[in-house]
Amino acid sequence: MKKLVTGGAGFIGSHLVDKLMKEGHTVRVLDNLSSGKIENFEKWLDEARFEFIKGDLLNIEDVQNAVSDCDVIYHLAANPEVDAKKSSPETHFRQNIQATFNILEEIRNQGDVQRLVFTSSSTIYGDADQFPTPEDYGPLKPISLYGASKLSCEGLISAYSSMYGLRSYIYRLANVVGPRSDHGVIFDFIGKLRENPHELEVLGDGSQSKSYLYISDCIKGLISGEKSDEMVSIFNMGSEDRINVLEIANIVREETGNESAKIKLTGGVDGGRGWRGDVKVMQLDMTKLKELGWEPEYSSKEAVKLTTRATFRSFQ
């Protein structure tokens, strides 16, 4: 049987593909390449155990072909944009909620899939007032369309698991960073400094403080959670600490040789947020996943430094 990775040409997905292939699994990737890159898994293309389907989760025939003969599905494909100015409500609905519904319906129709692994997000918590935030925190009130769409997907998965006996693993991820990432604050900062090495614009008031999870820790966590025997397992995954956006700006300046660049704060919106829907403070309680043997190796600062170096090299 095969492992299906939706979004397997993307940042997290391609690292998961590497892990599964190195462990000897037969892997199929479904990706429409709207943001993912074939080069991220190019080294596996000639392997008999690897199959790539260029297709879309909104196309039912593509979903049928992808799910066929698979026993485990890692559903990572999604529209990751949190900033409402860069992505419409319809896009979040179709690429996140509708796409997840299509996968679940095909799982129900075919009946062969044993486990579904889904990457959700810390944004489902909205502006939490408890840190670190545990999985049973509530009420859940996401403040972005992205967070709302991920929470909707969680609800669908929970219902399908209850009604149709699908064992599911839901991971609420902090900000995942590492090589191959072409999205987020580190990537944006490096791009800005390349355009203007004398000034670095920082969105918001500079006080935003969040947890950053290094990609290798993320991949280990996605595998570790499958030890759980619950029908629906929900896990937080992040680093043990958090780092503020000004610290990130300083790390990027130092690692790229732009220490003299002047930091310019925009002031932000809604009390200093970088954009509408931006959660200002985020740190997750990971006790539940750690009880299964998982531990993050890297702190937020270490994750940011390693990612800055890798991303800066990719620009050169």
Query: Which positions are catalytic?
Result: 146
Give the other-Cβ count within 10 Å of 105's Cβ: 16
Amino acid at 149: S
The CA distance from 189 to 308, in Å, is 9
Cα end-to-end span (Å), the chain: 41
Is the CA virtual torsion 147, 152, 157, 159 positive or negative?
A: positive
Half-sphere exposure in the Cβ direction for 38 (13 Å, CA):
8
**Residue 211: partners with Cβ closer than 8 Å, 6 or more residues away:** 122, 174, 175, 238, 239, 241, 242, 243, 282, 283, 284, 300
Residue bearing tokens 């937080």: 236
Angle at which helix 145-164 crosses helix 99-110, to 10 degrees, equals 10
Residue bearing tokens 């397992």: 233
Q: Is 307 within 8 Å of 153 (Cβ atoms)? A: no
Give the other-Cβ count within 10 Å of 226's Cβ: 14
Give the other-Cβ count within 10 Å of 89's Cβ: 11
Q: Is 17 within 8 Å of 39 (Cβ atoms)? A: no
Closest of 242, 274, 11, 21 to residue 132, by C-alpha? 242
Amino acid at 185: V
Phi, psi of 102 (to 5 degrees): -60, -40
